[in-house]
Structure 1
């Protein structure tokens, strides 16, 4: 009965449009009251969930992304991408993909990526005669690569949701090839759709402009190498890497680019503080929710249900992906990771999947949720920037959805895709 109360209140809260964080908290508190436990148990679990040293990395990475967004790095990445591929048919779409991918590498946040790059690229594409729905879809799907980048704070959330059995080093290496595959899939889709719609070519600006724009963008991109190199070489931990990234972002935007004003600095501080507060509160409440699910053996029940359907690992993995997709429709990215990981990780590891590979699968499924109504934070933000009806964008979303699902199936069914870099190093 307690499990029924937990699940029903959670689902009803989501269906009523209640914020995920409140649906999780209300269902957990109601279950605790039903069991006759003291309310202090909730606060103790919340505090223990947030009191983890590794979580220091989250505000550092978030603040780094905000500094880069307000510090002018987006304009330089757009200029660089346009110089390289803007002259190809559908070049502005491909420019969008490359620029969003590169900015995702320094921000680690798909939603921040849509906000920064979409605000510049979507209006530019519309002025060039490109349909708004195409511009929005290219932007929102290209931004999803940021979840697989080394600066992604969602990797940290998964690492801790997995019970500490997955290191940040392993996740950083595992995300490299899937991020490349997803970028290639997005570029290909953007090109094919652009050709089908007959978009015009741009003009090649010359190799001199390519070199100048690349030189201007490289200092911003160098932050990825600092984080990856520092963590993998053992020079500093993930939390220390985040602190170094913030320091480097400040030096770059204040003294090198000289593009970060005091007002924008304060906006970055305020935005990073707000985002960090929401994420940590969600982590704390989800810790209580996960604790209750573990008590009631939810993972074992779901595993038994799946084993009744099939005992073939690849069938189980696809069914888990379908379940993760359904959860992603209703949950924010962080909540999706925190709720689903304790349920499905024991199941997939039982059938031979490495927890690192599953981490990339969870991250990819979480990004699908970002672009799927009714939650779809990146999706709605892109539609608002493009000033285009949601229905029009949904009707043309399928080529980009197929590209993302293709990447997801490759990662799911071919373990080497996410494990190869780690095996080599």
Structure 2
């Protein structure tokens, strides 16, 4: 192991153990490595790499989608989506768990935030499920599992981050590639809900939803659902790019939250803008520091060394992909999804490209892997938020999560080894 990578790893691990924020961990460990290796104009080099990392037009989509998500979250979106999901799947025994999952899928895809889905949907549905006799820990497990589907169903900020790091990847194609994997992940979670509820007898006395209730619920939720249609339809039809679509999403979200639903008043906008700005600052600072780290890794030829080491272990592409999946699953258990994408994309993308894997397909596989990590201890963001909302323990919820983990791993294997699930829709753009 070279001096540079030794310093980088030691500094990185030590600061993580000291609970230093990840963005500072990445930046400081990169700076220490550059100083130790004696690169000329150290500070100017790191600062230049950080600036170049965020000097990308596609990154403009991130603050817009974050603001759109905050507007929709504060604009009364959750209750309307819950009502709509109830008339779709609420008649099934145990249907409230399906309502929970489906609403998380819809809300997550619109807001682009898994944590926001857990908080918004969980605050409403977890107490309702508790009153209906569902196990409290199971209710949190359902909400936590369903929340991550929105990271695969576009629009998704983490997809934009991956496209920027991978360079040359079309955000529009990446959005299209995530639709079927996201739906597949949601379907496997719903199958677990059905099986568990049937076995335990949850929700037998489900309120029947009559057909006339469908149309009022659809009418109420339709403006919110139109955001997905407008954004994805505009991108796929070529009317606007993914970055331009993010601005359209803000305009439509503003119209719904302030004018249509009237849940957000003009005096609330400064606080919403400030919250979105803080979130954007965290993400873009991570992008900047990770770009500097990527330059150091490239100069030290770390991606090439890892690629050669993995291929030396086996010449079987299936074995290598399984190994990469295992590594990413482990990474996801202790690192949030955005820094993990920024750090590990430059390392593993060359390996998978050499195996003949499409970069868009690998992006979906990576996001699916790291999304599962949001539900796993010790650093599962969605798991912690869910336990806080549900007022229960991580140990109890983790036990209830076990069948959901198996379902998510099954979906992950299908996404990994059946590329057509991810690549069929993007291929339509080339035809």
TM range (shorter): over 0.9
Deviations 1:234-280 (A, max 9, x none): 21122211111100111122222222234543442222111101000
Distance between the aligned counterparts of 2:140 and 2:269, measured in 1? 28
User: Could you say which residue in structure 1 is the equivalent of 2:202?
Assistant: 199
User: Could you say which residue in structure 2 is the equivalent of 1:45?
Assistant: 49
Deviations 1:168-227 (A, max 9, x none): 111111111111111111111111111222212311121111221112111101111111
Are 2:13 and 1:11 aligned?
Answer: yes
User: Could you say which residue in structure 1 is the equivalent of 2:342?
Assistant: 338
Return the match for 1:27 from 13, 24, 29. 29
Distance between the aligned counterparts of 2:78 and 2:270, measured in 1? 18
Query: 314-323 or 38-47, which moves further after superposition?
Result: 38-47
User: Could you say which residue in structure 2 is the equivalent of 1:409?
Assistant: 413
Normalising by structure 2, what TM-score? 0.96
Query: 381-390 or 325-334, which moves further after superposition?
Result: 325-334
Distance between the aligned counterparts of 2:259 and 2:266, measured in 1? 13
Return the match for 2:357 from 335, 353, 360. 353
Are 2:422 and 1:418 aligned?
Answer: yes
Return the match for 1:398 from 402, 419, 428. 402
Q: CA deviation at 1:13?
A: 2.0
Distance between the aligned counterparts of 1:419 and 1:11, measured in 2? 36
Contact in 1 for aligned 2:62/2:160 (Cα 8 Å): yes
Contact in 1 for aligned 2:227/2:249 (Cα 8 Å): yes
Over 4 Å off, 4+ runs: none
Q: Describe the shift of the 1:304–1:142 C-alpha distance in structure 2 as closer, same or farther (beyond 3 A).
A: same
Deviations 1:107-153 (A, max 9, x none): 11111111211111112211222112111111111111111122211
Distance between the aligned counterparts of 1:374 and 1:33, measured in 2? 33
SS class of match (1:396) = helix
Query: 21-30 or 263-272, which moves further after superposition?
Result: 263-272
Contact in 1 for aligned 2:96/2:203 (Cα 8 Å): no
Return the match for 1:188 from 160, 174, 191. 191
> How does 1:1-400 map onto structure 2 within 5 Å?
1-37=3-39, 38-163=42-167, 165-201=168-204, 202-262=206-266, 264-400=268-404
Distance between the aligned counterparts of 1:194 and 1:271, measured in 2? 38
Normalising by structure 1, what TM-score? 0.97
Distance between the aligned counterparts of 2:369 and 2:267, measured in 1? 36
Deviations 1:5-39 (A, max 9, x none): 01121122223333211221221111011122322
Distance between the aligned counterparts of 1:11 and 1:393, measured in 2? 28
Distance between the aligned counterparts of 2:177 and 2:216, measured in 1? 32
Q: CA deviation at 1:424?
A: 3.5
Query: 336-345 or 211-220, which moves further after superposition?
Result: 211-220
Distance between the aligned counterparts of 1:225 and 1:233, measured in 2? 11
Deviations 1:53-94 (A, max 9, x none): 211100000111110000001100011111222222111100
Distance between the aligned counterparts of 1:266 and 1:373, measured in 2? 35
Contact in 2 for aligned 1:47/1:284 (Cα 8 Å): yes
The CA RMSD measured in Å over matched residues stands at 1.3
Query: 267-276 or 185-194, which moves further after superposition?
Result: 267-276
Distance between the aligned counterparts of 2:28 and 2:196, measured in 1? 45
Equivalenced residue count is 424
Unaligned runs of 5+ in 1: none
Distance between the aligned counterparts of 1:251 and 1:229, measured in 2? 19
Q: Describe the shift of the 1:423–1:51 C-alpha distance in structure 2 as closer, same or farther (beyond 3 A).
A: closer
